Structure 1
Amino acid sequence: MLNEHLNKPLYVQIQEYIAELILTGKIPPETKLPSEREFSQELGVSRMTVRRSITELVNEGILERRHGSGTYVAKPRVTYNVRELINYLQAMHTRAIAATSQLLEFGQIPASRRLAERLEVELGDALYRVAILRLANRVPCVVERVFFPCARLPQIEEYDLEKTNIYDLLTEGYKIQFSHIQQSFEAVAANEPIAEQLRVPDGFPLLMVSRVIYQTSDCKPVEFAQDFLRSDYARISSEIDWQGDQEFERLYF
């Protein structure tokens, strides 16, 4: 488990060990952490070393200390405004959550009938397919599956998609102005690949956000995305400006 011969301090190894217990769900969110003494006996290290590891995880926001109660696994649940769903990294940074990304997949595919309809391209046209995992405080929270028409976003492979969020890629990399965005929300169960990527059981409840982004220049779609959010780590909020009774009647009756 711990290796004194590794070129890595013991407290860092313990820190990674505890983080792995959390990421794999062995210590779920809001669960009280075993005591320093228990970890010390289990791992054969001093309590001072364990304390330093726990302090580092508290500083990262993975753990939280509750006065008079102990140390608990923090729950980095993010409440997204619907406008923030096109930029998860920015939403997390705004909330002081440590956000990281992993590029899961990148390549080109021919447009299927469904994708051709969504992106308003011809059947078989070349599309970029990108899958990115977003993590909040080391916890996998979102899988983004994104499709771009190759003809509208040429040479996208030149960008570091692991470090560049999609919103910045479109607006800064390609100088695209959005005319409008269509989004829909659906409750789905995690299939095996998504469950593995998010480290949840098969069938775990997820929120799927489907999105099409249209550019101003020709009102054509530049992105079709399906984002899979862990339901235990995400909420979505919306604020509606009240326009009066006539507007209410127009919308609902």
Structure 2
Amino acid sequence: MPKVYNLLSLDIAEFLQQYIEEKKLMPGDKLPSERELAITLSVTRTTLRHGLEILVGKGIIYRVHGSGYYICKPKVNREFTHYCFPCQDSLLMEREYNVLPIEYIPTSLAQIAQNLFSPLTLSELRSISYVELVDDIPISLMYTFQDSESEHLLPDLPFSKTLPEDTYFTQTIRVFPESFGENESLIELLNLTADDSLLLISTFIHHAERIHALCLSICVGARVNLISDVKLP
């Protein structure tokens, strides 16, 4: 259930944003302690925390337990329609982008791929798994699954720079269905905190009226701006 904040919390969040701008705080800089901020604003620490949580949710600050709140690096702009084709994303290519291969696959994602390509098993599919990093910060986990036919159509997936003729893709986006509270693999790979939220971006690649490949991305919402040029009628 989404959190509901009162007007005072929103005012505090706005004040803190102005404070960050006026003090010209840079990524990695630390905010004053909760006690100092509560005294400055003449509010309780509980009310102050609500304002801080708003900025955490916006990806402006992040919390280090036992230490305090720090300024985040700027969000990464990504083209939504090219999310699973990073080499086609002009916004992403402006940043320092790297990938690292991984072996971990969340149960829910393995099940999605298994259901989509049944009766083929996962072992019969070509799959690639890696963590995406921008400026050495993990922003998402990417997984691709392909049947044998699409290996010829898209041998470089997910780093294809173009799609073959008569090939197109569809996309969905939703909240990642698994809780990561006790999932040490997700927490470690994406360097997650309790304040983070995850999105699942799915790209289905079609050819000859059939889905031949699937790209799934677990994205850290507070670290990415999804830019779309899709115009609604």
Band of TM-score, shorter chain = 0.5 to 0.7
1:24 paired residue number: none
1:81-230 equivalences in 2 (<5 Å): 81-91=79-89, 94=92, 96-105=94-103, 114-119=112-117, 121-124=118-121, 126-153=124-151, 166-168=158-160, 171=162, 176-177=164-165, 179-188=167-176, 189-190=179-180, 191-201=183-193, 204-215=196-207, 218-230=208-220
**Which structure has the greater CA radius of gyration?**
1
Letter in 1 for 2:215: A
Partner Cα distance (1:113, 1:99) in 2: 29
Does the 8 Å CA contact 1:209/1:228 hold for their aligned counterparts?
yes
Distance 1:92 1:152, change over 3 A: closer
Residue deviations 1:16-61 (CA, integer Å, cap 9, x gap): xxxxxxxxxxxxx83317xxxxxxxxxxxxxxxxxxxxxxxxxxxx
Alignment CA distance shift 1:79-1:88 (3 Å): same
CA contact (8 A) 1:149 1:223 kept: yes
Report what 1:231 is aligned to: 221
Letter aligned with residue 179 of structure 1? T
Q: C-alpha distance in 2, partners of 1:87/1:178?
A: 17
The answer on whether the counterparts of 1:128 and 1:147 sit within 8 Å (CA) in structure 2 is yes
Question: What root-mean-square deviation, in Å, do the aligned CA atoms of Structure 1 and Structure 2 show?
Answer: 3.5
* Length, aligned pairs only: 159
Work out the CA distance in 2 between the residues paired with 1:193 and 1:133.
12
Contact 1:76–1:136 (CA under 8 A) maintained in structure 2: no
Q: In 2, distance between residues paired with 1:242 and 1:207?
A: 22
Question: What's the offset of the Cα at 1:233?
Answer: 0.7
SS across alignment from 2:231: coil
Quote how far apart the aligned CAs of 1:96 are: 2.2
Task: State whether residues 103 and 129 of structure 2, in contact with CA within 8 Å, keep that contact through their aligned partners in structure 1.
Answer: yes
Say whether residues 1:241 and 2:224 are aligned partners: no
Kindly provide the amino acid, as one letter, of the partner of residue 227 in structure 2. S
Cα 1:203–1:131 shift into 2, 3 Å = farther
> By how many angstroms is 1:94 displaced?
5.0
Q: Aligned letter for 1:223?
A: A
Q: How far off its partner does 1:144 sit? A: 0.3
* Structure 2 length-normalised TM: 0.55
Greater RCO between the two (CA within 8 Å, min separation 6)?
2
**Amino acid of the structure 2 residue aligned with 1:184:** T
The one-letter amino acid paired with 1:238 is: S
Deviating 4+ runs (over 6 angstroms):
none
What SS does the corresponding residue of 2:95 show, helix, strand or coil?
A: coil
Structure 2, unmatched stretches of 5+, are 1-25, 31-69, 105-109
Q: Tell me how far apart the structure 2 counterparts of residues 165 and 127 of structure 1 sit (CA, whole Å).
A: 13
Deviation digits for residues 4-25 of structure 1, max 9, x if unmatched? Answer: xxxxxxxxxxxxxxxxxxxxxx
Q: Which amino acid aligns with 2:79?
A: N
Q: Deviation per CA, 1:191-237: give whole Å up to 9, x if none.
A: 4322221111368411110221112xx23222112201111111223
For structure 1, the residue ranges without an aligned partner over 5 or more in a row are 1-28, 34-71, 107-111, 244-253
Q: Which TM-score applies when normalising by structure 1?
A: 0.51
Q: Which residue of 1 aligns with 2:49?
A: none
